[in-house]
Structure 1
Amino acid sequence: MDELLDLVNEKDEVIGEVWKSEAHRNPKLIHREILILIFDKNNRLLMQQRSFNKIKYPGYWTESCAGHVLKGEEPETAAHRELKEELGFDVLLKFVEKRLVDRIYERYFKYYFVGRYAGELIMIDRDEVEDTKFFTLNKFDNLYRNETEKVLVQHISEIRAIWLVNK
């Protein structure tokens, strides 16, 4: 499904609007995305396996939750919306940082948030998520070295750094 996003400049100021499909094909069109890391009381990271019905990276393991910031939406609002849509619960989120991500085919500001899981019922959206599991840092590192698992590794260094700082 195509969505309308804010078009931003290199200072992350809104300068217009762009369709998600177009932003993903043109690196001159900068947009905003969010990434959420949910940790439990034992500092294990909740990861999701993307639905096998997804066009991009079906069945891959990835961060707790991620998505796009819609036109006129604040990043924190988008983070709460995506968390509720994909995992069926909401928690207090803390903004950690934002980075300008440069890829060959697209550019975007990635806003990173962390939250604490306290036993909320996880009700996954089957169109988005196949499964969820909690991983220790050691199991997380092994997951990325395991050639039998499909893992989306775009933000592994950032995830590790945030994990280590937010114990």
Structure 2
Amino acid sequence: MPHDNQAELFYRVDKNDKVIGSVPRSEAHADRNIIHRAVDIAITNSKRRILLQKRSMHKDTNPGFWSISASGHVTFGETYLQAAERETKEELGVNIELKFVVKELSKLEREQELTSIYVGKLDFTPTEFDTTEVSEVRWVDLDRIAEFITNNQFSAAAKSTLETLGYVQ
């Protein structure tokens, strides 16, 4: 059973990020015509590795799949940056400086997200991650990321973000 609060409110937006109103998680994840805000965070270290997380089996989307360092939705009432900082703290137990890279429309199997992508640096492995969100974290060499994606169940949204960042062809 998913741990995620299905009544949690997200921003409902148009493709230009104009706010239309709010939408519950359950509706946002069930209707591809509803666009809602999301964040992806890619954390790298000084050894040219990227931190990946394996999503908990309690997640309502892509349970047990590998994904980007941290990700989530922008809760109604917060900014993209606030959501990125919250998700990084909630999922990985760390506070780091995040830098905005780009915003893109992600058309996924069950939903559409307007995703702001952030990057950050970290030179240790988080050990205080939230096991209701994340089951495992792993550093992967950037030059082996394509091989890792091919050999593991990997979130399509996270793969798209890695492509946008130029880490995967």
TM-score by length of 1: 0.88
Which string of whole-angstrom CA distances, capped at 9 and with x for unpartnered residues, describes residues 120-147 of structure 1? Answer: 743110101111010012331111222x
- Cα 1:121–1:156 shift into 2, 3 Å: closer
Residue in 2 that maps onto 1:79? 84
Query: Secondary structure of the equivalent of 1:111?
Result: strand
RMSD: 1.8
1:159 matches 2:150: no
Q: Distance in 2 between the 1:157 and 1:11 partners?
A: 19
Question: What one-letter code is carried by the residue in structure 2 that aligns with 1:53?
Answer: H
Q: In the alignment, is the contact (CA less than 8 A) between 1:99 and 1:109 conserved in 2?
A: yes
Task: Give the percent of matched residue pairs that are identical in Structure 1 and Structure 2.
Answer: 35
Structure 1: unaligned runs, 5 residues or longer:
none
Q: Distance in 2 between the 1:57 and 1:103 partners?
A: 11
Query: Secondary structure of the equivalent of 1:158?
Result: helix
Deviation at 1:47, TM superposition (A): 0.3
Of 60, 65, 72, which residue of structure 2 is paired with 1:60? Answer: 65
Q: Distance in 1 between the 2:110 and 2:20 partners?
A: 20
Of 5, 9, 15, which residue of structure 1 is paired with 2:10? Answer: 5
After alignment, is 109-118 or 54-63 more displaced?
A: 54-63
Query: 1:26-65 counterparts in 2 under 5 A?
Result: 26-65=31-70
Q: In the alignment, is the contact (CA less than 8 A) between 1:50 and 1:60 conserved in 2?
A: yes
Q: After TM superposition, where is structure 1 displaced by more than 3 Å over at least 4 residues in a row?
A: none
Q: Distance in 2 between the 1:121 and 1:155 partners?
A: 19
Query: Secondary structure of the equivalent of 1:96?
Result: strand
Q: In the alignment, is the contact (CA less than 8 A) between 2:108 and 2:157 conserved in 1?
A: no
Count of residue pairs the alignment pairs up: 162
TM-score by length of 2: 0.87
1:93 matches 2:98: yes
Q: Distance in 2 between the 1:88 and 1:76 partners?
A: 17
Q: In the alignment, is the contact (CA less than 8 A) between 1:89 and 1:120 conserved in 2?
A: no
Question: What one-letter code is carried by the residue in structure 2 that aligns with 1:153?
Answer: A
